Amino acid sequence: MGKTVVKEDEEIDLTHVDGDLEVLDGATINIPKSVEELTIKGKLISRGDVLIHGSVKSTEIRHSNGYLEIDGDVKTQEVRVDSRGSRNGSKLIVVGSLECESANIDGALEVDKDLTGDDVEINGSCVVHGLAKINEYEINGSAKHGMDIITEELEVNGSLKAQANVSASEEFQLSGSAKIEGILEVPEVDVSGSLRCYELISKTAEISGSARMESSKAERVLNVSGSFKCTGSVVSPVVSCNGACGFGDESVVQNLTINGATTVGDNFKFNKIEVNGAFKINGNAFGTELKVNGSTKADGDLKLEGDLEVNGSLTAIMLEANEIKVEGGLIAEETSAKYVYVGEDSRVRGIVKADTVVVDDGGRVDHIIANKVKLGEDSKVGKLEAKDIDADPSAKYK
């Protein structure tokens, strides 16, 4: 096969090229309506500003030093757009759809309709107005999509803006920035950059950067060592917050570990929580077990089916649990339990109602209503109502 050359500023009609087609700056190629597309058995190599009226099919497209505009659909095995050697860079504009096996864009790519590819790498910029179906998609520059992105693997080291949904059947890695106006659905999410989306649906999510969304569902686990903000509900069996986390109303988490700072909305439901940092509940919460080694504050009621252990500080309006152990401070208008233990030099404010209450040495309680009460050395109860009182001689109560 030989090579066909279209010279600078030349205008020519073409329907078929047996070998490579080289097109130089200022050239125009017209494809007659009698054929569906221009068929190039070899490569399409263009330099400068080139205009092709019609659809193109070739083994490869290589473009540099200007704008290549194709007013139709493009089918090719490989696309390369070079950014070097031109003041304005290089850009491929496809007015129709682009279908390729691989694409390497160092310059710019714009597709008016759909983009379909096996392996696409954007080192420059990319704009796709239609649907994008790409098996392996890597964005090191910038990409903007007007419709859904469907991939197997998506890696964003630069910036991605998507006006619709994004889905990956395997994984999504983000070290740059991504703003997704629709749903992000992927089995594994790894965010070390900045993520903004409407909803995140995943099996496993690792957030070491920042993420913000309106709702989130993690089927297995959500790990946050950076910043995570969900204005709506978060649903996950396991959540670990080592950074800053914010969940909205109606969130449901089975096991929650807090080593940083976490805020949840009203009607929060859980099984087990361990607080080693700071935990804030903007409303009511319902769960089984809670262990507080740091600080926890609920603006509403906190009701537990199981036990509560406070080694730091806890504040709530109404507090219910099976057994409560306080080694630190607890503030509630009313605390109800079967058994309450107030440790040495610990402080409980409000009314405590229980079957049995034990106040260890130096402990302080405002008001106790119980069947059995045991008071240690130098303990103090502001008001005590009990049937059976075992008090150290140094204890004070009324």
268 DSSP β-pair partners? 285
What pLDDT score was predicted for residue 2?
78
Looking at residue 81, its pLDDT comes to: 97
Segments of the chain scoring below 70 in pLDDT: 1, 84-88
CA neighbours closer than 13 Å in the CB half-sphere of residue 270:
26
Planar angle of CA 264, 262, 322, nearest 5 degrees: 70
Sequence-distant (6+) residues with CB within 8 A of 315 are 296, 297, 298, 330, 331, 332
Q: Note whether 365 and 352 are within 8 A (CB).
A: yes
pLDDT in tens, 59-78: 999 999 999 999 999 999 99
CA–CA separation, 54 and 125 (whole Å): 24
DSSP assignment string, 18-70: SSEEEE-TT-EEE--TTSSSEEESSEEEEESSEEEES-EEEEEEEEESEEEEE
Residue-level pLDDT at 85: 56
Looking at residue 84, its pLDDT comes to 63
pTM of the model: 0.92
From CA 335, how far away is CA 344, in angstroms rounded? 19
Q: Residue 189 phi/psi, 5° resolution?
A: -120, 130
First to last CA, the chain: 107
What pLDDT score does 375 carry?
98
Query: Hey, which residues does 353 pair with through a beta bridge?
Result: 336, 369
> Long-range contacts of range 325-333, CB-CB < 8 Å, 24 or more positions apart?
328/292, 332/302
- Tokens encoding 168: 């990956």
DSSP state of 7: P
Residue 83: the pLDDT is 84
Q: What is the Rg, in whole angstroms, of the alpha carbon atoms belonging to the chain?
A: 33
Helix ranges, 94-155 (H): none
Q: What are the residues whose beta carbons fall under 8 Å from the beta carbon of 384, sequence distance 6 or more?
A: 367, 368, 373, 397, 398
Model pLDDT, residue 86: 52
